[in-house]
Structure 1
Amino acid sequence: MSRVEGKVALITGGASGIGLSAAALLAKEGAKVVIGDFNIEGAKEAAEAIIADGGEAAAIFLDASKEESIKAAVDFTVDQYGTLNVMFNNVGLTNLQKDLDVVNIDLEEWDRLMNVNTKSVLLGSRFAIPHMIEAGGGSIINTASMSAFAADSIRSAYGASKAAVVNLTKYIAAQYGKNNIRCNAVAPGLILTPAAKNNIPPQVLDMFEKYNALSYHGEADDIGYTVLFLASDESKFITGQTIQVEGGHYLSNPTMPDFNALMKQGK
């Protein structure tokens, strides 16, 4: 129960889903956590739940599209707990109605997703790093996506923004490693967050399960535990990496499930 004992962590987008899981797990393992989210009521509820469970937590409003809001969240964390050791840049947006193929994509949506999904990672790191240097080091963790590695028929901006996060992670790791600052990313596949459960039709879930190497879908805690590992000293020699947590969905030849079905027909 002390994997991150004494560390101070800021989680952006921490009121629900992956961010909420990471906040709860970090607090359970001894970290003091600040939950930043546009949904301030949800962030407060999450912090109160952590406190009720014996942990230390605080909440702050965070608009990841605004530089001053990101800086305010970092400053609040340091004012509240005296330092900053773990920065989890977790905010990300997608829009299936506007983020289309490259011919039809709404260009304003392209700019919005690049600003929130990529620039917020840059800014969160930019404002956290000086405090981490002062603290003697730290761990920056970024939420990427398997969309950074495999293309889709739509979501061009989302995929490009997350690919940028993967490469930015390497740059931060290379530039600040000598300051004992590590930077890694997590690339989730399909994760059954509350939002996913409410919005993804059963037939789409069945499609994903068909192509997964594992026979089930990921949960928010599958990412939360990966974040906990990267925040802890257990991962002290890992930096610049993107860990793919996706159930083996992208592991095999894409024809393999259909080929197996064909072979079964021939028996």
Structure 2
Amino acid sequence: MGRVEGKVALVTGGASGIGLSSATLLAKEGAKVVIADFNVDGAKEAAENIKKQGGEAVGIFLDAGNEESIKAAVDFTVEHYGTITVLFNNVGLTNLRKDLDIVNMDLDEWDRLMDVNLKSVLLGSRFAIPHMIKAGGGSIINTASMAGFAGDSLRTAYGSSKAAVVNLTRYIAVQYGKDKIRCNGVAPGLILTPAAKKNMPQAMLDIFAKFNALPYHGEADDIGHTVVFLASDESKFITGQTIQVEGGHYMANPSITDVENYMFSMKQQG
């Protein structure tokens, strides 16, 4: 308890999944938390549940595609709690029906994902940094994705936006480190959020599990605990980094198992 005692955190996209876990764990460890989400009822419900557990939180509306809404969320945090020392830029969108390959993708979808997934990170940081400087420092944490570290046949805009988040994280870290503002990212792999459990059939989960180095999938709290660490002074000498929390899914050469199986079959034949 108390790992982020006295800190004030704004968590965007905090009504469910990774954001909800992070907000709950931050509050449990002593932070005052503003939960901002397009689903304002969910944000308020999350805040009430935190209060029932003895924490301090409030839920507000956020449209991460709107500059004024992002500024209003930062301003509310400062007005309500007096400062902001932790910003978790967590909002992200994806659309498998429109975000296709380069030739066939919907260009309007490209613009939308860049606006929400990338520009919201820029704007949230832009509005929070002056307050963090006044507070004597702070920690900005950005949700990237393993899609930002690899190419794929689909989700061109999503992966590109998340790769940009990784590098924007470095730029923020370099530009404001002397103001004692740290900026780091977290890159989840497949995380079993309620939405993932609801929408992904077991056969698809099994495909992902096949390539994990660990024999299980990640949970929202696995990201939440990483966020708490990055928000806390335990990570005071870490900045500009993006921590990959993905169960070793991307660590191995994916062809080796098939090669081994092929060699085994050839040996059996001859």
- Specify if TM > 0.5: yes
Q: Does 1:26 align with 2:31?
A: no
Shift of 1:198: 1.1
Deviations 1:238-267 (A, max 9, x none): 000000000000001111333454567668
SS across alignment from 1:215 = coil
Task: Provide the residue aligned with 2:218 in structure 1.
Answer: 218
Whether contact under 8 Å (1:8, 1:84) holds in the other structure is: yes
Unaligned stretches of 5+ residues in structure 1: none
Q: CA deviation at 1:230?
A: 0.1
Alignment of 1:153-168 (within 5 A): 153-168=153-168
Match of 1:80 in 2: 80
1:104-115 to 2 correspondences below 5 Å: 104-115=104-115
Alignment of 1:23-172 (within 5 A): 23-172=23-172
User: Any conservation in 2 of the 1:28–1:55 contact (CA below 8 Å)?
Assistant: yes
Aligned residue for 1:76, secondary structure, equals helix
* Alpha carbons 1:210, 1:257 under 8 Å: kept: no
In 2, are the aligned partners of 1:11 and 1:87 still within 8 Å (CA)?
yes
- Partners of 2:264 and 2:230 lie apart in 1 by 42
Give, in whole Å, the separation in 1 of the partners of 2:261 and 2:211.
Answer: 12
Q: Equivalences for 1:154-193 in 2 at 5 Å?
A: 154-193=154-193
- Structure 1's 31 and 140: CA in aligned 2 closer, same or farther, altered over 3 A? same
Please list the CA deviations of residues 206-261 of structure 1 after superposition, one character each: whole Å capped at 9, or x if unmatched: 11111110011000000000000000000000000000000000001111333454
Find the residue that maps to 1:54 and give its secondary structure: coil
SS at 1:34's partner residue?
strand
Percent of aligned pairs sharing the same letter: 77
> What's the secondary structure of 2:197's corresponding residue?
helix
Instruction: Name the structure 2 match of 1:246.
Output: 246
Structure 2 counterpart of 1:181, one-letter code: I
Q: Distance in 2 between matches of 1:215 and 1:39?
A: 34
Q: Please give the alpha-carbon distance, in whole angstroms, between the structure 2 residues aligned to 1:146 and 1:204.
A: 17
Alpha-carbon distance between aligned partners in 2 of 1:220 and 1:251, rounded to the nearest angstrom: 21
Alpha-carbon displacement from aligned partner over 1:180-213 (angstroms, at most 9, x marks no partner)? 0000000000001111111112111111111110
Q: For the aligned residues, what is the CA RMSD?
A: 1.1
Give the aligned partner of residue 232 of structure 2. Answer: 232
Instruction: Report the TM-score, using the length of structure 2 for normalisation.
Output: 0.97
Structure 2 unmatched runs, 5+: none
Going from structure 1 to structure 2, the CA distance change for 1:51 and 1:263 (only over 3 Å counts) comes to farther
Describe the shift of the 1:82–1:106 C-alpha distance in structure 2 as closer, same or farther (beyond 3 A). Answer: same
Kept in 2: contact 1:209–1:217 (CA 8 A): yes
Is contact 1:211-1:257 (8 Å) kept?
no
Provide, for residues 39-58 of structure 1, a one-character-per-residue CA deviation record: whole Å limited to 9, x for no partner. 00000000000000000000
Residue 240 (structure 2) pairs with residue 256 (structure 1): no
Measured against aligned partners, the alpha-carbon deviations of 1:121-177 in whole angstroms (never above 9, x if no partner) come to: 000000000000000000000000000011111100000000000000000000000
SS where residue 60 of structure 1 aligns?
Answer: strand
Q: Distance in 2 between matches of 1:178 and 1:127?
A: 18
What is the letter of the counterpart of residue 3 of structure 1? R
Q: Distance in 2 between matches of 1:260 and 1:125?
A: 48
CA contact (8 A) 1:50 1:57 kept: yes
**TM-score, scaled relative to structure 1:** 0.98
Match of 2:10 in 1: 10
CA distance in 1, matches of 2:8, 2:152: 37
Amino acid at match of 1:196: A
Amino acid at match of 2:89: N
What is the alpha-carbon distance in structure 2 between the residues aligned to residue 54 and residue 174 of structure 1? Answer: 37
The 1:43–1:180 alpha-carbon spacing in structure 2 relative to 1, beyond 3 Å, is same
User: Over residues 45-97 of structure 1, what are the superposed CA-to-partner deviations in whole Å (9 max), with x where a residue is unaligned?
Assistant: 00000000000000110000000000000000011100100000000000000
Count of aligned residue pairs for this structure pair = 267
